[in-house]
Structures are given as C-alpha cells and as structure tokens.
C-alpha cells in the first residue's frame, strides 16, 4: 500500500528517496523491522487483553517438569504473529502480486481454523477443540485453493528457453528475446518463454527438475485431466503435513517460534534468488517472474516469529496456540510450493518431520504391540520427540535451543543443495 503511495508521490512531486521502494531488499528490510516492532509493542497489549479475558492455557497432567507453572498462561498468542505478518505486508507489499494474494489468503484461512480450535478449547471448555475432521477439511480446502490457482493462473509460470518449451510441449504464456553475454561470442540473442508447468526443483540431482505431469502421463495421454488428480493431492498432503507438524512441535517455550524463524529466513533467501534472473540462471534453479515479492512476505514471517519469541521464550508469557502453530506450518508449506522448492521441506523442516514421525511411530508401535502381546509398548518415553528428551531429564530451554541449532544446520544444508548435485 505504502509502495503505491510513494510511487504516486514520486511521479507527481519527485519525492526524494522514493526509488528505494523499488528495491525488494529495502522493502524486505523495512518489513522485518516493522514485524519485530509490531510483535514487541502490540504483543504486550494483546497479552494483557488475553489475561483480562482469562484466556489461559489448561495443561493436561503429563508428569513433565515445570508443567504446573504453565497453567493459566495466556494462549491464542498467534494473533501477535498474524498481526506482525499482515500489517507490514499490507504496507510494504505490492498487493496486486498473485503470490502475495495467495499468501495473505492462506494466512487468514489457517488463522481462522486455528482460532476456531482455540476458541472451543478456551471458551467452550472443550479440551479436544475443533474436531479433527473439521480441521482436516479446512486444510484440504486450502490445498485445493492453492493447487487450483497454481494450475490455472497464467500469472504463475516458469521461464525457460523457447526451444526447450516447444520440445517439451509446454503451454507457452509469453515469449520474448533477451541478450545474453558470453565469454567467447560476445552478446548472443536468446529466445525465451514463460510457460505453465508443474515442474519443481529436486535437490541433489544434476538434472534438478521434476514435473508432476510425468506421473500423469503414466495413466493417460489426457494429462490435463489427470494432472488434477496427481498435483492437487500432493499439494494437499504437503500443506496438511507441515501444518500439523508445526502444531505438534509447539509444545515447549520458544520451540516452534524459533525453528519457524530460521526456516522463514531460508525461504526469504530462496524467494530472492528465484526472483532474480541472474542468480536463478547461475544456480540452475527456476526463474519465477514476480516471485520476488515473496521475499517481503517471508521477511514479515521471520520478523513475526522472532518478535513472538521475545514473549514466548522460557518462561513464556504467552503461548501461540493453534491460532499460531497451524498458521506458521501452513505458511511454510504454501511458500515452498509457490517457490517450487517443496521437495526441500524434508531437509529444511527436519525438526517438524522428526516430531511428526515420532508420533506416528509411537502410536503405530503401541497399537502393534498391544495387538500382538496384549500390552502396548513404547519406543519413546513420550511423543512428540521434545517430550521424550524432557522425560529424560533435559530442561525445556536446552531442548528448544538445541533444536534451533539443528534447524540452523539443516538450513545451511538446504542452501548448499542449490549447488551440490
């Protein structure tokens, strides 16, 4: 919004310094600072309001150290994260950008699902919260929306050489000619095209792209129809899995917020690289026109998580609740899909994946042993994984920091995969 005002003032009044707003790097820096300030200042007001409404956490007795002290701590602090994301992006983002529109809708969508869950738990005094089927329906609905826009919108495309696009039978949205400097031949003119495709980058492979259409071709020559049955379920699975995994990770003070902040920083880097033709060509990743605006959204997301960590670090003054945890997981998943880097999520979101798998393994093994031996047995002392370490006597602050360190290592590995093939 502010970008449009500055552009108007510059056009008519030659406003000094207005051209700074043309740079994504400047707007991203302004966005992350704004997110932090909003989290810090608005956060205290929201916490006081939650306390006045007696929106306190009801803690189930799990036999964990320090658990009783958490009783009554305000929850639904995810509103701090939502405000710190949405306000700066409305100020510094170009709101006609299709990628930003998708991210704003996704944020509000998941925030409403999380709020409904928290509202039922807190105000209706129902510890189960929103029914699992209702939660899944909401996540599936978002997956259908995001997948459909990715398949249908001509504003979402990939740049590739025109010859390659024609050979692959891709739907060419627009074609143009660029001048490419070379060491031996000087300036060479090259025919390029923007195409509609479901290709995504694959880490660690020399030919680092995969097209979901390849699977569709196994079933029929009518790939346009089958692609919906292949691509939409993949999008739904990714959004649902990462969203729920983030929800499971939100079990210790500062854990989910810290991990998500690191992941958000990597997504901001990936968005900047994918939106720059030079760096995209150098790294041999897809150049995605107009995706650079996601750098600003990812910066807002990172700033919001760091700012929330100010209030949520041990001992926490507020919990994010499902309003925050479902939203941050969904945001990460949708951003990765838009960046065509969803296959990097198992690496980048390694902590989320481990937390999710620990629950699946624990439940599956318990059911299996109960059926076979008549007595359920456990692999972990408690799941999700962070509770296993807590049961082992490790302080929750140490667990959170160590999980942050692991996420930093995974983040570095994720960035390295851009060149390691």
In tens digits, the chain (421 residues) has pLDDT values of 777 777 777 677 777 777 787 889 999 999 999 999 999 999 889 988 888 876 666 665 555 665 666 777 888 899 999 999 999 999 999 999 999 999 999 999 999 999 999 999 888 878 788 898 999 999 999 999 999 999 999 899 998 888 888 887 788 888 888 776 655 666 778 888 889 889 999 888 777 788 898 888 888 777 778 889 999 999 999 999 999 999 999 989 999 999 999 999 999 999 999 998 888 888 888 899 999 999 999 999 999 999 999 999 998 999 999 999 999 999 999 999 999 999 999 999 999 999 999 999 999 999 999 988 888 899 999 989 999 999 999 999 999 999 999 999 999 999 999 887 6
**Greatest pairwise CA separation for the chain in angstroms:** 81
Nearest Cα residue to 290 out of 152, 154, 89, 149 = 154
What residue numbers bound the domain in which 43 lies? 28-156+202-416
Please give the Cα distance from 43 to 308 (Å, whole number).
7
Is residue 56 one of the residues assigned to a domain? yes
Q: Which of 141, 176, 196 is the last residue of a domain?
A: 196
Q: Which residue has the tokens 């150290």?
A: 65
Is residue 55 one of the residues assigned to a domain? yes
Is residue 286 one of the residues assigned to a domain? yes
Is residue 12 one of the residues assigned to a domain? no
Say yes or no: 42 and 173 in one domain.
no
For the question of whether the overall pTM of this predicted structure is more than 0.85, the answer is yes
Is residue 7 one of the residues assigned to a domain? no
Counted domains in the chain:
2
Say yes or no: 216 and 167 in one domain.
no
| Beta carbons within 8 Å of 16's beta carbon, 6+ residues apart | none
Report in angstroms the alpha-carbon separations of 418 from 214, 215, 279, 285.
23, 24, 11, 8
DSSP H or E segment with residue 390: helix 385-391
Say yes or no: 80 and 181 in one domain.
no
Say yes or no: 301 and 234 in one domain.
yes
- Three-state secondary structure along 166-184? HHHCCEEEEEEEEEEEECC
Per DSSP, the chain holds a count of helices (H) and strands (E) of 16, 5
Say yes or no: 173 and 299 in one domain.
no
Is residue 127 one of the residues assigned to a domain? yes
Q: How many residues does the chain have?
A: 421
Say yes or no: 228 and 324 in one domain.
yes
DSSP H or E segment with residue 388: helix 385-391
| Tens digits of residue pLDDT in 145-193 | 999 999 999 899 998 888 888 887 788 888 888 776 655 666 778 888 8
Say yes or no: 228 and 348 in one domain.
yes
Is residue 111 one of the residues assigned to a domain? yes
Say yes or no: 189 and 268 in one domain.
no
Say yes or no: 38 and 171 in one domain.
no
Say yes or no: 181 and 328 in one domain.
no
Say yes or no: 181 and 300 in one domain.
no
Say yes or no: 94 and 182 in one domain.
no
């Amino acid at each position: 919004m502010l970008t449009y005002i500055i552009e108007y003032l510059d056009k008519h009044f030659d406003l000094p310094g207005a051209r700074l707003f043309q740079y994504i790097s400047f707007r991203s820096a302004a966005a992350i600072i704004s997110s932090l300030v909003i989290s810090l200042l608005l956060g205290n007001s929201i916490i006081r309001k939650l306390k006045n409404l007696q929106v306190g956490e009801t803690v189930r007795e799990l036999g964990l150290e320090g658990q009783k002290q958490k009783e009554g701590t305000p929850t639904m602090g995810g509103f701090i994260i939502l405000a710190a994301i949405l306000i700066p992006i409305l100020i510094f983002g170009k709101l006609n950008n299709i990628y930003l529109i998708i991210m704003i809708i996704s944020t509000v969508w998941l925030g409403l699902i999380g709020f409904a869950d928290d509202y039922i738990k807190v105000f209706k005094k129902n510890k189960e919260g929103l029914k699992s089927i209702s939660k899944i329906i909401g996540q599936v609905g978002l997956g259908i929306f995001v997948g459909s826009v990715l398949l249908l919108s001509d504003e979402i495309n990939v740049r590739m050489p025109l010859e390659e696009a024609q050979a692959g039978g891709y739907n060419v949205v627009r074609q143009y000619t660029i001048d490419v400097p070379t060491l031996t031949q000087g300036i060479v003119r090259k025919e390029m095209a923007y195409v509609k495709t479901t290709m995504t980058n694959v880490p660690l492979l020399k030919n680092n792209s995969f097209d979901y259409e390849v699977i569709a071709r196994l079933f029929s020559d009518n790939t346009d129809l089958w692609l919906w049955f292949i691509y939409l379920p993949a999008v739904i699975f990714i959004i649902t899995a990462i969203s729920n995994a983030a929800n499971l990770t939100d079990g210790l003070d500062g854990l989910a917020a810290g991990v998500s902040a690191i992941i958000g920083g990597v997504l901001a880097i990936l968005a900047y690289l994918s939106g720059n033709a030079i760096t995209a060509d150098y790294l041999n990743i897809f150049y995605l026109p107009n995706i650079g605006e996601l750098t600003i959204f990812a910066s807002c997301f990172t700033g919001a998580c760091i700012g929330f960590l100010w209030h949520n670090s041990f001992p926490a003054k507020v919990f994010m609740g499902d309003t925050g945890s479902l939203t941050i997981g969904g945001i990460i998943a949708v951003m990765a899909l838009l960046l065509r880097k969803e296959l990097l999520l198992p690496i980048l979101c390694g902590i989320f994946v481990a937390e999710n798998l620990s629950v699946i393994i624990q439940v599956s093994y318990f059911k299996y042993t109960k059926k076979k031996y008549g007595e359920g047995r456990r692999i972990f002392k408690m799941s999700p994984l962070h509770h296993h370490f807590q049961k082992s006597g490790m302080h929750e602050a140490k667990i959170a920091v160590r999980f942050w360190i692991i996420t930093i290592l995974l983040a570095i590995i994720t960035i390295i995969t851009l060149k390691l093939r």
